[in-house]
Amino acid sequence: MRPDARAWFESRTSSAPCLDALDLDALLRAKRRGQHRVSVVLPARDEEATVGGLVADLHEQWVQRVPLVDELLVVDSDSTDATAAVARAAGVDVVAAADVLPGHGSRPGKGEALWKGLAATTGDLVVFLDADLLGDVRHFVPGLLGPLLADPQVEYVKGCYTRPLDVAGASVPAGGGRVTELTARPLLNALWPELAGFVQPLGGEYAGRRSALERVPFVSGYGVEVGLLIDLLQLVGLGGLAQVDLGVRRHISQGQEALGRMAGQVVSTVLARAGRGQAGGLLTQFRHDGAGFVPHSTAVAVDERPPLATVAEYRALLGDVVVG
């Protein structure tokens, strides 16, 4: 690891305490002292199996019991199941991605839901969580907020964790994060070695200051996380970034073909940020139909939304709301 990356890793990596060890009074004092408003956004597509229990736990802990979160929003990204209904039944607000900034249309992809979620909320501190998380992850919210509340120089915080992989009834303790290890990490180490200290560069749990997030573009698909990391590095510098160890992250794992499509979008995003262009913009994969191999192609070209600060409708949405 390069000396600057190692120095960053040692100074900007912290650990999130478990719920029982949290100093809730200190957390709330820091929020009040900074006059912060906190929004938590969960992008969701076909997550009816997990989203209800997840948001119910977050709402009970951080809205009802401890007033840390001011907005808890699920952004439904064209789900074909009961994701939206399940989330509403759990007592949280739900918005369809297509209904936010409707004049800008709707595009498929996780990054689109994140961009629309940022536009639909008003907190000056914004936490993003994936909607397929399993187990008790209530400590993720204060864990991600901690560095932002403690240090005004920190603009963006990535969560890191071990990622068990459950296959055929067996669990591999650190077998998850395959796209990270096989695609994102080698590329980032080669092209942005100062980012080598990030344990989970593609992790879906992170938080940032609106003032920074609204000044960078959002890649519409699965390249959004690596795009944000690179763009925020350019915007605020390495010293404005931090990471926090959240322990263990469990979720519903994707199959190899889906992971290949994710990796293709990550590669396209990294190449675009590196000024290497997009070679074709298509990922071709193969299936065997019993008689032979059949190719099928998926678009992986970078499609992105502009920084929200440049969108007039977004500024009108904020109106007279005072954040930060």
Q: pTM for the whole thing?
A: 0.91
The pLDDT confidence band at residue 301, using thresholds 50, 70 and 90, is: confident
Structure tokens of 107? 């595009």
pLDDT in tens, 2-23: 999 999 999 999 999 988 889 9
Domains plus CATH for the chain?
Answer: 3-255+310-322 (3.90.550.10)
What are the strands, taking DSSP E only, across the chain? 13-15, 38-44, 71-76, 93-96, 125-128, 133-134, 156-162, 165-167, 170-172, 206-209, 218-219, 241-248, 250-251, 282-288, 293-299, 304-305
Distance CA 48, CA 53 (A): 9
Coil, strand or helix at 252: coil
The pLDDT confidence band at residue 322, using thresholds 50, 70 and 90, is: very low
Per-residue pLDDT for 149 more than 50? yes
Phi, then psi, of 43 in degrees rounded to 5: -75, 140
